[in-house]
Amino acid sequence: MKVQTMFSNRRAFLQTSATVLASGTMARVGSIGGSDLPKQPVKGFAAGQNHRRKELWSLLGDLPWQHRSGPAKLVKTEEHDGYKLEHLVLDLNGQEPVPALLLIPDKRQTPAPGYSTFIGTPECMSSGKEQLLKGVAVQPAYAPVCAEKGLVTLAIDSWCFGERQHNADGHTGEEDAFKLMLWQGQVLFGMMMFDEFRAFDYLASRPEVDPERLGVFGMSMGSTKAWWLAALEPRVKVAWMCVASLISTS
């Protein structure tokens, strides 16, 4: 039995998605090529989308819509090969601060396409947003690819990940947060999506970013977030997902 990881395929997959977004090609969400969707919206299609978005939001529990996001706090700036990296703390939910990384390529269009990345694999619970820079066994660091393609890229620490991991045992911490939120009428995944939604707003507001060219990328549970945000947020033009797995061949 031979077990191998898909490093080269995943890297090629990410490079392809980055090229699509950087070139301004607007693939329709739900189809990589968009060929299976009508070129012209059918009557009532937009209204139907709005109705479905409301239904999806209603499934995510009580969300802190009353909280108005404050300005981002810049902690420090680093210069890397081909890009600048801002370490930020975002005020998204009114309950706990959200550490984030913003990658700004040295060579980019003005304004440049924006890209939100979502972390979700168990291997990433302690590293969180740092996966952008360090990678893990199932996914190499992809900051160089984003810089090469000229994508202004945002990664945040989700609930129970990275600097928001409040228990040394990540799984126990996630279970504790899940149960606590249920008692409060909240859903952990809903609170995660709320943060991603507000973070996407922040990305779109950056002066370096073209708000008409915004995309999302996620791996494992992050791929589920990418689908959800694409469904909830009409500004998402490109959504790419990657499932973390090992391929076994005999």
Q: 196: closest CA among 158, 227, 165, 223?
A: 158
- What is the Cα–Cα distance from 113 to 135, expressed in whole angstroms? 22
- Per residue in 195-213, pLDDT tens? 999 999 999 999 999 999 9
Tokens of 182: 């249920």
Verify cis geometry, omega within 30 degrees of 0, for the bond prior to 111.
yes
- pLDDT bin (cut points 50, 70, 90) of residue 240 is confident
* Least confident piece of the model among 179-183, 191-195, 196-200: 179-183
Q: Give the pTM.
A: 0.78
* Least confident piece of the model among 38-42, 127-131, 244-248: 244-248
- What is the Cα–Cα distance from 222 to 242, expressed in whole angstroms? 8
Q: 241: closest CA among 172, 168, 139, 165?
A: 139
Helix (H/G/I), strand (E/B), else coil: 62: coil
